[in-house]
Structure formats: C-alpha cells, structure tokens
Structure 1
Amino acid sequence: MYSGKAVRLNALENGITELVLDLNGSSVNKLNQQTLMELEAVVERLHQPSNAVTGLLIRSAKPAFVVGADVTEFTGKFQQSDSELLTWVQSVHSLFCSIENLPFPTVSMINGLALGGGFELALCTDYRVMADSAKVGFPEVNLGICPGWGGTVRLSRLISIDTALTWLVTGKPQAANTALQLGVVDRIAPLETCRDSAISLLNDAGSNYQEKRLHKRAPVVKNTSWDNDFSAFVDSYSSKLDPNYPAATEIINTVKSHVSLPFEQALDTEAQAFVRLAKGDAAQALVGLFINEQQMKKAAKHWLKQAKPVAKGAVLGAGIMGGGVAYQSAVSGVPIVMKDIREDALTLGCDTAAHLLDKLVKKGRLAVQDKQHILDSITPTLHYEGFRDVDVVVEAVVENAQVKTSVLADVEAYIAPDAVLASNTSTISIDWLAQGLKRPEQFCGMHFFNPVHLMPLVEVIRGRHTNDQTITRTVAYAAAMGKLPIVVNDCPGFLVNRVLFPYFNGFNRLLAQGVDFERIDRVMEAFGWPMGPAYLADVIGLDTMVHADQVLQKGFPDRMTHDGEPVIEALLASGALGQKNGRGFYEYESGAGGGRNKTASSTVRHIINERLQASDEVSDEEIVDRLMIPLCTESIRCLEDGIVTSAAEVDMGLIAGLGFPRFRGGALRYVDSIGLQAFAKKIEKYHQHGALYHVTDGLRKRIESGSTYY
C-alpha cells in the first residue's frame, strides 16, 4: 500500500490496515521532517473514500514506539521567526487532527518508550494498547519547552487536571500500570501479545470509538472540583518553580487557560506557548545541552567500538575517592579489587558502599538480595593478590605527586602486561607521573569528581605517550560505570580545574577589594550556580583548594598568580579546612534532620580586612563579570590549545563537573548568548585586573570572521 523511508502501510485481514513506523538508518523512531512528511502522505491516502479500510493499527518496528521529535532539528526551527515557527507547529497539529478524524477506529500499539511527540501521536488515536514493560511521558520540560503537538490539551482532557500537570511539569516517564489505572491506555499486555490485543480491540470497536473522540476533545467544565484540583497542584508545586527554568510555569498557565476552551482554540493556545518557550534563552541552552550530550555519547561510542570490555577493575586507596570508585564499579556490575595499606580504611570503604546500597534499597531501586551480591564483588585487600587479573587499575591515593609516583611504579610490577594504569588526579600532570613507569603508553588520567556516585563526569586524560588502546579501555570502563567520559589532553588542571581556578582568582580579587563573600555567594547563586564560590571552596576543602591553586599558578604563571597571599591560603594557615572540620568561609554546626547550618566566619572577615587593598563600590553585574570572564576566557583557551576538540566538550565538562547553570548551556554557549563582540568589550572593560581579563587571539579571529562557538 505504501513504503517510504520512515513509514510503511500494510493491509491486514478484515479491512484492518497497519501503519508501521520504521525510520531508516536509525535505531529509534523520531518524528523528524521525513517521518512527518510521509505520515502526512499516508494519512491523506487513508482519508480517500475509495479505500476499504475498517481500522488502523499504528505500531513500531523498533524496540521503542517513538522517542519524540528529532531534537537536532530544533536548532534550525527555533531560529525561525515567531510566525514561521508557529506555522510549523500548527501544521503538525493539522496532521495529528487528521489522524484523529479518520473515518474508522484507530489504535496505537506502544511496545516501548513513547515520549514527547511519540506520546502525542499515540494520544491522537482512539485506543492505546501498551506493553507491560513500556513507558509513556512528556520530557519536554527538561528541554525548556512544553509539548507542542497537542500533548497538554489531550492529556488534560483525558485524565484529571492535577495528574496531567504532574506528568507535564515533572517530565517523568510513567509505567504501563499507572497509565492503565488512569485511563491513558485501554489495555496492557505482554509484549509478545500486544499486536494481537490491538487488532482484537479494533475488531471489537464498532462505533464506540466516536464516543472516545468526543470525550477526549470536550472542554473541561470549570467547577469547584476543577478549582480545587488546580489550586492543590499549584500549592504543592510552587516551591519547585524556578524562574530560570520557565517551562514548568508556562505549562501550568497554559493548561489553566486552555482546558475549558473549544478543542481547536486550546491547540492554538498550546502552540503559542510552545513558540514563546522555544524562542527563550533557556530552551536554546537546554536543547543545545541535549545535542551536546548526544555528541559526547557518540564520541564515547567511537572509542567503545574499539575497546575490549573491562571484566574486572582495581582501585588503590579506600578513602573518599577510592571507596567511591569501588562502589560505582561494583554497583555497575564490574567486580573490583580495593587495596589500601590500612585495615581500618578498607573497612570504612566497604561500610561506605554498604551505606549507599542501603539507600538504594530504601528507595526501592535495589532488591535486598542484590545488595550482598554487589558487596561481594568488592574484594578488599592489603596486598596485590588478584591484580594480575584486572583490566584497569585506578590509583586514588592522596593528591601528592611523590606519593602517587611511588605507588604507580610499585603496582605496575603486579599487573598484566596489557592492563591499563590510570591515576585519579585532579591537577597533577600525567606526563610528569608517567616518568617513572616502564609502560607509559598504558598510563592515563581518570579524574572522577566527588562524590563519585553522584557526579556524572570522568575526565580521561591523555598523556604524551598514552596510546589509543589505553584511552579506549579507560573510556569503556567509565561508560560501564554509567559516567560521561570526556577525553582531554594533558595540562595543569586538565579541563575542569583549569577553568575553575581562574573563577576563584576573580573571587579572591573581589575579596581584596572589600566585596563581602556572602554577597558574592548570593549574587552567583542568583546567576544560577548551585553554590557561590565561598561555599564551594568550603565544600571542596580549603587544603585541596590551595594545593590545586598552587599547581595552576605554577602551570600558568603569566595569568593565574595572585596579587599577594590569597585569602584561602591565609584561612588554611589558621587551621580552617572548610566543611572537613566545620571551619572555613562559613562555620558549620549540625542541624535538624542531619543537615548542616552555616554562619559566616568572623575569622574570614578579619583576614580579609587585614589584606584589604581597596574598598570600591561594586555592582552585582560587575561581580558576575569579574568571576565569569576568567572562567569563560580560560574555557576559550582550552579549546584554542586543543585540550579538547569541541565547544560541546568544554560545556559538557563544566555542566557535568562543576554544576555550571544548565539553563545557560555552558561557558561557550553563554559567550555566544552575550555575543562575541559584546563579550570582548566586557573583557576589555576589566583589562586592568590582569592577564585573565585579556581577549584571546582566537576570540578576536572569530569576531573578525563573524563566527560563533555554536
């Protein structure tokens, strides 16, 4: 009947026709322009009175139904004018309404994920049969947008307002049983019988499908129950609304405004909301991040294709980082040997893993019987027995160059000739650490971030001698642990810390100018950081901060040195370590519920007053500029120096490793949003503050050529 690049139409028995979604060259179905164009052609054919179709089954030939729109096409679409973008959205509305108005019953067979536009397509049909393992949902809020193809309208008329809003503003996929109980789907069945169940439903539909359509399109009558449902939802969710992420608020207001309107007007209301969000900065950044993440996964797959799977790992050191690596490896299904020189350290490492597993059990994400199996896959040892069998050894001892080189040279004698040796160092040069090794080509950096089980990034650092086989296996190990690996070239601080410490350099200069650290924290948190620089320094630990800062100063003396002793060094000299001992920029005391209360330290204010170089009036905008310019210009230098190969890697590193504000998209996307020429003018405004506030040659060239980072 029809066979295209994304859609097939097959005739079945009793006049039933099957529309099969099967996008060529893709592992999943996406509603890209090709698919939408073919769907339109097929639906037009199905509307012809000459055909003898009595029912339509829509199903997928892929493991998922449809994972949504093709987000890679959003970048171009979102650059269109408001009217052009609105016309595009309304054209898809017309297509979906045309499916909804076919002169015979329709059913979607949801065999796997049906997300975003895929779920909207399924909602257009009269019936939905869902595999018991499948999930449906609207994740658009995570991209800074709302469903734009009728999702907010159809869902809010199909189920209660508060439940529909919960699905829409949380973006969480929903299980089959939940969808059935709420009436979102009509039947659930084991995957192997789903198709038969859907065909049976079509054969039995008769004229009942007309009532289903009327119910789904009917406006909701506003009454006391409606008002109560809506008010209860807003009251419960209002504390979670963030003005930096406007999609959730827009979704709530859109549903409120269209739920009692006639169907076509409601669709127009949703389309206009979609356009407003799509043209906003948050959507541009979040869609860009999604595309960046896909690029990173694609890059990791490139390495993984060449890699031998890691069957067993080892970690040296059972401290915070070593114990975290051991836990993450074991919980991801890769057995690991954990070595330390102290029995009590090994006990602590195992206890920490058990505590984290207990949390998973409590949340229902791990069966009790699986906890012991995971713990049994961590082998604590004081010796090197078993190291001959491991594929990757991660050294995670104290961040001291001499200690690390000694340990690395020691363990190299006990591992297999083809095993990879990696150092979990945050700043120390991989080339320097490789000097005492017999096989430097099988050595690299593997920089995890603390806490290991929560932080998604792993920097895989290539030294001068590191070969591709070493990188592929290390990337494979990081990916097996569920991490986002980014391959970076060796330099002081690598990518993340090299970029972070210019930010702290700017912070220290503001302190020396008399700007209060609590105010700086408030301003930067309002900018979008999860915590300001003073609080972040306490969390990292002032000893770690000083060590890393000194490495960066030594590595880049032309721009990363300070004018006088930094406040953090003076604080450390006074015995303050940050949260490690409850004293830093803030003083910490145990609070209710196991939390920590913090109050500004009077010691810090005294230290700052002793070093006060000036006391100029500084605006909030200047505080942001003085910290963000060094961070962004160093990010630009990392790209120019070839530490990473793309702007996407820079930005994903900062998002995943530092908590850079997601709604700003990363340092280089932030620069693009300001405009390169405007950003260069900002830099020049603060030129007197040193080399961290100088425009790079590469930035000047981009300005001259009119190019951007994305």
Structure 2
Amino acid sequence: MIYQSDALTVERMDGDIAELRFDLQGESVNKFDQATVRHLTGALDALEAETGLKGLLVTSAKPVFIVGADITEFTGLFGAGADELKGFTAVNNANFNRLQNLPFPSCVAINGYALGGGFEICLACDFRVMSTAAKVGLPETKLGILPGWGGTVRLPRIIGVDEAVTWIASAAEQRPDAALKARAVDAVAGPDELREVALSTLQSAIDGKLDYAGRRAQKSSPLPMNDTEAMMAFFTTKQMVQQQAGKHYPAPVKAVEVIEQARGMGLEEALEVEAAGFAELAVTDVAAALVGVFLNDQLLGKKARDWEKKADKKVAQAAVLGAGIMGGGIAYQSAYKGVPIKMKDIDQKGLDLGLKEANKLLAKRVDRGRMTPVKMGEVLNSIDPTLTYGGFDNVDIVVEAVVENPKVKHAVLAETEGQISEDTILASNTSTISITHLAEALKRPENFCGMHFFNPVHAMPLVEVIRGEKTSDKAVARTVAYANRMGKKAVVVQDCPGFLVNRVLFPYFDGFSKLLRDGADFQAVDKVMERWGWPMGPAYLMDVVGIDTGVHAAGVMAEGFPDRMKLDFKTATEVMFENERLGQKNGIGFYEYVEDKRGKPRKTVTETTYELIKPHVAERTEFSEEDIVARMMLPMATEMARCLEEGIVGTPAEADLALLYGLGFPPFRGGVFRWMDTVGLNYISDASEKFAQLGKVYELTEGMKAKLAAGETYY
C-alpha cells in the first residue's frame, strides 16, 4: 500500500501501475470535502515519492465516481470573502495540476456520476474511460457559481469553446454517447468491462501508442484561436447564453467571460482568472439562494425517505377517483412511474377524458424520443379505467380527486371506504377543504390524509401530504412513499384552511386586489412581479389557476382567517367571475386568450377588463416598483411566518421549497424565508409600518418581532 486514508487509497499493482481509489468511509457517495482534498494532497505526495511507477489508474470503490464538492461546506465560505474563497479553490487546483503533471500517464475509470469537482479531476487525467451507466457534467452554474477546479480552463481546451460553453452554461448532465461524441471521454465501456478498458488504455499510453504529453500540452496552452475568431465567437456565445439564462442568473455569462478572458493564457494564469470569477459569484445573494435551494432539497429528500422507511408496505396498486384532467394526470404519473392504477369515474365520458389526458402525455414522450411505442402501450395498459369498485379490495392507496365540494367529497369518501380493505389508505386531492372535516364522514379517519397535487400533475413537482387531527403516522408514511414512487417532492403539513401553499398564496392575491382597488394597473403589477422573478404576474396567474377556482378558494380562506383575509370590498377578480370571465379555461379573464399555431393560449390585453373593474377601483395611480413588490410580498411573508410558528410546516427549508415547487417562486431568491433573510427583517419591519393601514396581513407576527429584536435570521 502506497497510501491509505479514510477517503482514498493508493496501491501498487502488477506492471508497476498504481491505483488511486476513492472510497469515502461512512458515506454512500464520494465527494470532495475538505478532508478528502487534504488526503488527495497526501496521496500525491506518496505517488511522487514512489519509484518505478509507469502509470496511474484512478477509480472509485462506490457505485458512483465523485458527485462533486461537499456543498454543505460552501455556506460557511460564502461569507468569508474573496481571498478565503480563492484559498479554498487553490488547494485542489494544486492537486489537480500535480496529478496532470505526474511523470507517467494517468487514466480514469468513470463508473457513475462524475459531477463538478468529480468531473474536473477526470479532466486533469490524461485519458478518460466512461461506463455506459455513468453521467458526467459541470452543474455549478445551477448553484449560482462556476467550476472552480479547472473546469472552465481544461474543458474548452479538450472539447472546444462552443461545446464547453454549452456544457457549463446549461449545467446539464451528459450521457456517455454525448460525452464520447464531444471527445470529453476517450472510450465508453459496459460496467463489467470498464476497468479492463481503462487499464488497456493506460497500457497503450505506457507503451507509447497514445500521446499523453501532447494532451497535457493542449490543456496547458492558450486556446487555438486568433483575436478575430475569438471576438466573433464570444460575442455570439455571450448573447445566446444571456438570453437563455436571463438577467437574474449571472453565473452562466460569467463563466463565458472567464473562458474568454483566459483564452490566451497558460494553465496557471487561466486558473487564477477562474478563481477570481468563482469568488466573485460565490459572495452574491443569488449563489447563497441557489445553494440554499440545493441544501433544502437534500433535507426535503431525506425527510421523505425517512417517512418511506416507516411505511408498513410498498404501494403496489393504486386507485384514483374522478377521471378528469386531474385524475387522468394522477393516473398517468402513477403508471408512468411503475405503479399500476385503477381510474374510477361514474361516467364513461369522464374515463374517456382521463385516458385521453394520459394518452396525450405519453404520446408527447414518444414524439420526443423519450419513450418507445411499446413502453407507451405498457404504461397505458397499467391504467385500468372502471365504472365500478371491482378489485378495490386489493388497492394499497386510493386518491380521491372529485369536484372540490365538501358534500360531494364526503359522499364519495364514505362510499369508497366501504369498498376497500381496512388497511387501505384513503387520500383526498383537495386544495382547500379541511382534512379533519372530510374525515368526519369516515369510520377509519386514522387511515385518511390529504394528498394535494398541483396542476398540471406531470409537470409540477410538489405534493402536499396533509395530516388531519386523526391521521396516523402509517397513513402519512404510505402516502409519502407513494409520492416518492411517483417522482414527486412531498412536503408533510398540518391541516388548516388552504394547508400551506394556498394559505400563503391568497394573501399575495389579496395584496394584488388591494393594489387594483387603490388604482394600480393590473398589467403594470404583472410586469413588475415578473421582473422581480415570478414566472407570471398575479393577474396572469389567476387566469391560469381559473378565476372560479380562485374566488372559491378566497372564500374558504376568508372564512378560515376572517381577521386578515376577509376583504371589505369587491375585488377585480370577483368582477371577472361575475362576468363569466374564468381565465384560460374559457378563453377570457383579466386577459383574452387565443390559441397560437402550436395550440397554446396566447395572452392578449382587452380594454373590456378595465371597463368592467372601473366602478370598483380608484383613479389610475402610478406606484413605484418597490412599493408594488412590498405590497405583494409582505402578506405572503407574514402568513408564511405564521405557518411556521403554528407548526403547519416543520422548517423554513420545507416551506421555501413548497413555494418553489408548487408555485414557481423564483429560485434565485431561494424562497420567502431566504428572501426575508436577504433583505433583512429591518426592511420587512419598515415595509410593515409603511403599509400598516392595509390590514393585519401586513403586520409582523410575534415570531418575526422576536427574531428582529434578537437580530436572528431564518437560516
């Protein structure tokens, strides 16, 4: 043994070849935490001191290669300043340079995910052989940063500027065929042949059949392009990347700028440019927010897996009640992810509609080459449309997705309970109705919970799993396990009107209603909130949700929280509803919708909206962007704080992700709690005082006041 540690080993093999094997003890994956970086330094010391070596094979003892840097260590560094951040990147850059300059060739066998720093160490090796089951990539721009261990330097010198920019700016994982085509790897082999092919490649380099010295020179030299070529290439590239990334995400464009700035430099100098770019991005609010989203997602996934471990059985057979667009979407998602499902309705037309929805979604996958027609047939066959309860006694979970009416749901749930086994979990896909109230119709309320999907089911990641007063852990665990099987992000919340997402969404809509009452232009509000980062402004969002749905939900919220959500004026949304303007579902709401050539509804402005709301609003008034944002966001923020303080949601992380995955809250802001931490509770408090006359929903909660007084943050 040449070197041994808790993170990696170096062992001498036959033929004077050394094997550097990553195997981080106590972890399911390899990652570059600071301890591993130190151990790699020690391993390189040992390799350089060892005599008679002819080559180095780099491998992983785990099912994946290296997933990248340990992101949990990033958060402490982000507030440290540029110098310390440069020091963070410098140690492993020195390691990778030493690896690249060893006095013998190196080859890496990539047996699983090699991402971020895990791929950058592969780029430092002379040759790369990739498993057919592996993926590689540089995902750093998704975190608001850029590759910090040579990715922006080596990759463009290996595969060319255009391809490297695409890889880095998109942050996408690359499959073996794409990596081979781009020449990012030298060979692809099946998992069983990977080691043999890597050793064969290494031996060819040792025997002089492969020129590793030339490869090193290429990685260490300036990019082979003159000034004119560079000017044209980078101007076009930056424009394209800027357009795709958008103004709120600076990392992709910065990565292109770093590649451009370092194009005429050698390795060491280029790495300094990269380090400066990394440090510049790492101290931004965007990086803090996006890294926070990543870490929150890790926490959410762990909580969901913990619930799944508590489940008494796997969901092998599911059922959905109500076969409309929502029921068809649930059926599609379940079947697509491998859980057969019965789809029951009282009407054949409903079943036809549900099957049509599932068929449409599957056909899209086939058209895009993501599914074979044979697989599509298999998935469709696992959806069993039925008008009866036949076979329901063998179902593990039933999701009720009938009309949003308490009396109808009570009747359907009670009837269904009589047709299923005593062990079956019954869940309601309600968006507003109390789970505790719905459970009153049941003999086994402990087996009942909420399972709130968001529309469209196939596209929206979030599922709220709602615990009623009598819901058991068994019901929650099996429902979360089913959500996991369906590929969804499950957030477990307590029962209350609107649960979590709708409870905090409707104060936001109330802020919109009060702005219009006071003379704001709904188009102007939409544009401001879209510039702030929302995928659509509140008027457009209400049209998409459905104005009838919005009015119904607003009534539920007003009844549940009359002290702050009951409005004493007729809202513009109610005016739209009274005039049968329901939004996209009937082609006219705040905006009018006409299908474009692709069959998608195109939004256009109608003067009729202004005429209809004119008797109910003040004279047109100009509001500053800051005031519009504050009046829209403060009600959402205070209600989110109440939900946390009341235990409706367990952590700020879960709350923030629920809005990201359920509403499309801007990821670069990280969530409502992250946003409050970024702007500071002093700012929130000042806004609260400024708009206090607008009602209780603009008042700070007791918990917010306590945090403000103590100088605390939510994260």
> Does TM, normalized by the shorter one, top 0.5?
yes
Aligned with residue 519 of structure 2, among 510, 514, 522? 514
How far is the alpha carbon of 1:599 from its aligned partner? 2.2
| Structure 1 residue matching 2:215: 3-state secondary structure | helix
Q: What is the CA deviation profile of residues 249-278 of structure 1, one whole-angstrom value per residue up to 9, with x for unaligned ones?
A: 111111111122122111111111111111
- Inter-partner Cα distance in structure 2 for 1:113 and 1:416: 43
Report the equivalent of 1:367: 372
| TM-score (normalizing by structure 2) | 0.97
Pairing 1:313–2:318 present = yes
Aligned residues: 709
Report the equivalent of 1:128: 128
Aligned with residue 256 of structure 1, among 254, 260, 278? 260
How far is the alpha carbon of 1:502 from its aligned partner? 0.1
Equivalent residue runs for 1:54-69 within 5 Å: 54-69=54-69
| Structure 2 residue matching 1:31: 3-state secondary structure | coil
Indicate if the aligned counterparts of 1:514 and 1:608 stay in contact, CA closer than 8 A: no
Indicate if the aligned counterparts of 2:315 and 2:482 stay in contact, CA closer than 8 A: yes
| Structure 1 residue matching 2:20: 3-state secondary structure | strand
Report the equivalent of 1:216: 219
Equivalent residue runs for 1:601-616 within 5 Å: 601-613=606-618, 616=621
How far is the alpha carbon of 1:187 from its aligned partner? 2.0
Q: What is the CA deviation profile of residues 284-314 of structure 1, one whole-angstrom value per residue up to 9, with x for unaligned ones?
A: 1000000000000000010111111100100
- Inter-partner Cα distance in structure 1 for 2:63 and 2:693: 59
Q: What is the CA deviation profile of residues 606-629 of structure 1, one whole-angstrom value per residue up to 9, with x for unaligned ones?
A: 232201246554211100000000
Indicate if the aligned counterparts of 1:117 and 1:147 stay in contact, CA closer than 8 A: yes
Indicate if the aligned counterparts of 1:158 and 1:215 stay in contact, CA closer than 8 A: yes
| Structure 2 residue matching 1:651: 3-state secondary structure | helix
Pairing 1:284–2:288 present = yes
Equivalent residue runs for 1:167-178 within 5 Å: 167-178=167-178
| Structure 1 residue matching 2:419: 3-state secondary structure | coil
Pairing 1:339–2:344 present = yes
Report the equivalent of 1:151: 151
| TM-score (normalizing by structure 1) | 0.98
Indicate if the aligned counterparts of 1:461 and 1:489 stay in contact, CA closer than 8 A: yes
Indicate if the aligned counterparts of 1:684 and 1:695 stay in contact, CA closer than 8 A: no
| Structure 1 residue matching 2:15: 3-state secondary structure | helix
Aligned with residue 419 of structure 2, among 414, 423, 428? 414
Indicate if the aligned counterparts of 1:156 and 1:259 stay in contact, CA closer than 8 A: no
Equivalent residue runs for 1:346-361 within 5 Å: 346-361=351-366
Indicate if the aligned counterparts of 2:281 and 2:287 stay in contact, CA closer than 8 A: yes
| Structure 2 residue matching 1:20: 3-state secondary structure | strand
- Residues 591-600 or 344-353, more deviating: 591-600
Report the equivalent of 2:79: 79
Q: What is the CA deviation profile of residues 427-481 of structure 1, one whole-angstrom value per residue up to 9, with x for unaligned ones?
A: 0000000011000000000000000000000000000000000000000111100
Indicate if the aligned counterparts of 1:457 and 1:485 stay in contact, CA closer than 8 A: yes
| Structure 2 residue matching 1:707: 3-state secondary structure | coil
How far is the alpha carbon of 1:241 from its aligned partner? 3.1
Residue type at the aligned position of 2:369: G
- Inter-partner Cα distance in structure 1 for 2:341 and 2:59: 43
Aligned with residue 452 of structure 1, among 448, 457, 464? 457
Q: What is the CA deviation profile of residues 606-653 of structure 1, one whole-angstrom value per residue up to 9, with x for unaligned ones?
A: 232201246554211100000000011111111001001100011000
Report the equivalent of 1:640: 645
Report the equivalent of 1:239: 243
Report the equivalent of 2:16: 15
- Inter-partner Cα distance in structure 2 for 1:515 and 1:203: 73
Report the equivalent of 2:679: 674
Structure 1: stretches of 5+ with no match in the other structure:
none
Report the equivalent of 1:687: 692
Report the equivalent of 2:180: 180
Residue type at the aligned position of 2:435: I
Indicate if the aligned counterparts of 1:512 and 1:614 stay in contact, CA closer than 8 A: no
Pairing 1:270–2:271 present = no
- Inter-partner Cα distance in structure 2 for 1:679 and 1:619: 17
Equivalent residue runs for 1:345-494 within 5 Å: 345-494=350-499
Pairing 1:6–2:7 present = yes
How far is the alpha carbon of 1:232 from its aligned partner? 4.8
Report the equivalent of 1:303: 307
How far is the alpha carbon of 1:706 from its aligned partner? 2.1
- Inter-partner Cα distance in structure 2 for 1:411 and 1:184: 56
- Residues 252-261 or 456-465, more deviating: 252-261
- Inter-partner Cα distance in structure 2 for 1:28 and 1:120: 17
Report the equivalent of 2:668: 663
- Inter-partner Cα distance in structure 2 for 1:562 and 1:333: 46
Report the equivalent of 1:194: 194
Residue type at the aligned position of 1:535: Y
Q: What is the CA deviation profile of residues 22-63 of structure 1, one whole-angstrom value per residue up to 9, with x for unaligned ones?
A: 111111111111111111111111112x53322111100111
Structure 2: stretches of 5+ with no match in the other structure:
none
- Inter-partner Cα distance in structure 1 for 2:570 and 2:539: 16
- Inter-partner Cα distance in structure 2 for 1:633 and 1:376: 47
- Inter-partner Cα distance in structure 1 for 2:600 and 2:334: 28
- Inter-partner Cα distance in structure 1 for 2:372 and 2:235: 38
How far is the alpha carbon of 1:230 from its aligned partner? 3.8
| Structure 2 residue matching 1:205: 3-state secondary structure | helix
| Structure 2 residue matching 1:447: 3-state secondary structure | strand
- Inter-partner Cα distance in structure 2 for 1:634 and 1:254: 42
Indicate if the aligned counterparts of 1:161 and 1:226 stay in contact, CA closer than 8 A: no
Residue type at the aligned position of 1:67: V
Report the equivalent of 1:327: 332
- Inter-partner Cα distance in structure 1 for 2:323 and 2:491: 25
- Inter-partner Cα distance in structure 2 for 1:439 and 1:537: 37
- Residues 268-277 or 191-200, more deviating: 191-200
Report the equivalent of 1:555: 560
Q: What is the CA deviation profile of residues 391-439 of structure 1, one whole-angstrom value per residue up to 9, with x for unaligned ones?
A: 0000000001111111101100000110000000000000000011000
- Inter-partner Cα distance in structure 2 for 1:35 and 1:523: 46
Report the equivalent of 2:298: 294
When the two chains are superposed, the root-mean-square deviation of aligned CA atoms in Å is 1.3
Aligned with residue 496 of structure 1, among 483, 487, 501? 501
- Inter-partner Cα distance in structure 1 for 2:662 and 2:325: 17
- Inter-partner Cα distance in structure 1 for 2:191 and 2:243: 40
Residue type at the aligned position of 1:15: D
How far is the alpha carbon of 1:677 from its aligned partner? 2.2
- Inter-partner Cα distance in structure 1 for 2:202 and 2:593: 65
Report the equivalent of 1:43: 44
- Inter-partner Cα distance in structure 2 for 1:82 and 1:218: 26
- Inter-partner Cα distance in structure 2 for 1:591 and 1:600: 15
Counting aligned pairs with the same residue, the percent is 50
| Structure 2 residue matching 1:594: 3-state secondary structure | coil
- Inter-partner Cα distance in structure 2 for 1:697 and 1:691: 12
Q: What is the CA deviation profile of residues 328-375 of structure 1, one whole-angstrom value per residue up to 9, with x for unaligned ones?
A: 111111000001111011011111111110100111111110111111
Indicate if the aligned counterparts of 2:242 and 2:252 stay in contact, CA closer than 8 A: no
Report the equivalent of 1:539: 544
- Inter-partner Cα distance in structure 2 for 1:457 and 1:597: 26
- Inter-partner Cα distance in structure 2 for 1:135 and 1:441: 44
Report the equivalent of 1:579: 584
- Inter-partner Cα distance in structure 2 for 1:78 and 1:270: 16
Residue type at the aligned position of 2:289: A
Q: What is the CA deviation profile of residues 164-201 of structure 1, one whole-angstrom value per residue up to 9, with x for unaligned ones?
A: 11111111112223322332222222211211222222
Indicate if the aligned counterparts of 1:584 and 1:601 stay in contact, CA closer than 8 A: no
- Inter-partner Cα distance in structure 1 for 2:130 and 2:570: 65
Indicate if the aligned counterparts of 1:587 and 1:600 stay in contact, CA closer than 8 A: yes
- Residues 243-252 or 612-621, more deviating: 612-621
Aligned with residue 595 of structure 2, among 586, 590, 596? 590
